[in-house]
Amino acid sequence: MERRKFIRNAAMGGLAMTGMTGAFAAAAAAPQAKMSNRAKFNLKYAPSFGNFREHAGDDLIDQIRFMHDQGFRAMFDNGLMGKEPAMQEKIANELDRLGMELGPFVLYADFGTRSMVTRDPEMMDMLRERMRMGLEVQKRTNVKTALVVPGRYDDRLHWDYQSANVIDAMRMCCDIVAPSGLVLVMEPLNGLRDHPGLFLTTIPQAYMICKGVDHPSCRIVNDLYHQQITEGNLIPNIDMAWEYIAAFHCGDHPGRREPGTGEINYLNVFSHIYHKGYDGVICMEHGRSIPGKEGEKALIEAYRRVDAFET
């Protein structure tokens, strides 16, 4: 009953926000009505496992169903590659049944290693094997995108040589995954607070590498939390790099929690990418400002607010 009460209450709150009142609102709250949180979101905001454990429990499939009940049209799992093959297939089958999309999983992200910036043959062999492992995940899940991080920079090698090495390494990786249709999305990460020492930090830098790689499988995941810290200028950078952006991550700053808890105007940002025609996944890669069930309710309400732009 607790879960059903929550869904009903969330439905009523959403109806009030959009001006839906009277008989329609009453019907949504009626005991005989199907208990769900009304309309789907305009954009494919993607929760991850654990976001709604307080309401849905520990079972991963139940968590996916709860996400769907609340109007979410996608989910993501950074740790997908580490799950048992049978569980990967089970997750994919449930998402397919519900018509939900699976966002990028982490294919390669070693924050402590100088990998793509080098020409080390052992590193290249490691990357080839990693790509092959990612293709096995794709076969089981039909996921469209996989996330890669080029690793740390080398303070003993000129930056331009490192850039050229990353371009070559990414082209090699893209050649491996391209026949399957898998797209690799590079993630620039901030070095000012969370990940000092990494090579790839900005959207313009990622754009330049995509231009150099010149491959349909080489794209960018724009993590708006990281880019607010690194460079700001979010909407102009989205526009400049638009042709190469295949996914978004989000989280407010400071705090890396749900939209509305920091300085980013997510209502404007989401409206902008919606009207540009974006139909990909926006991974909710952040924590919650409030613990427990109340925090889970607040998380959904936060996304209802930033999704309330004109369509």
| List of domains in the chain | 1-39 (no CATH), 40-306 (3.20.20.150)
Average pLDDT over residues 167-177: 98
* pLDDT given at position 27: 33
State the burial class of residue 110 (Cβ atoms within 10 Å of its Cβ: 0-12, 13-18, 19+).
Answer: middle
Residue 11 has pLDDT above 60, yes or no: no
* pLDDT given at position 39: 81
Question: Both tokens of residue 238?
Answer: 């989205």
* pLDDT given at position 6: 44
* pLDDT given at position 38: 62
Number of Cβ within 10 Å of residue 224's Cβ equals: 24
For residue 40, the 8-state DSSP code is P
C-alpha to C-alpha distance for 48 and 64, rounded to whole angstroms: 9
- 97's CB contacts (< 8 A; 6+ apart) are none
- pTM for the model stands at 0.87
Q: What is the pLDDT of residues 81-128, one digit of tens each?
A: 999 999 999 999 999 999 999 999 999 999 999 999 999 999 999 999
- Sorting pLDDT into bands at 50, 70 and 90, what band is 37? low
Q: Are 101 and 44 in contact (CB under 8 A)?
A: yes
Average pLDDT over residues 280-291: 98
Whole-angstrom CA distances from 197 to 150, 157, 200 are 11, 14, 9
Residue 161 has pLDDT above 90, yes or no: yes
- Sorting pLDDT into bands at 50, 70 and 90, what band is 15? very low
For the chain, percent of residues with pLDDT exceeding 70: 88
Long-range contacts from 117-121, C-beta under 8 angstroms, 24+ separation: 117/150, 117/151, 117/152, 117/153, 117/154, 117/157, 117/162, 117/165, 117/166, 117/199, 118/154, 118/157, 118/165, 119/165, 119/168
Report the mean per-residue pLDDT for the chain.
Answer: 91
Q: What is the pLDDT of residues 194-251, one digit of tens each?
A: 999 999 999 999 999 999 999 999 999 999 999 999 999 999 999 999 999 999 999 9
Cis peptide before 196 (omega within 30 of 0): no
Question: Both tokens of residue 241?
Answer: 């790099």
Residue 266 has pLDDT above 80, yes or no: yes
Residue 3 has pLDDT above 80, yes or no: no
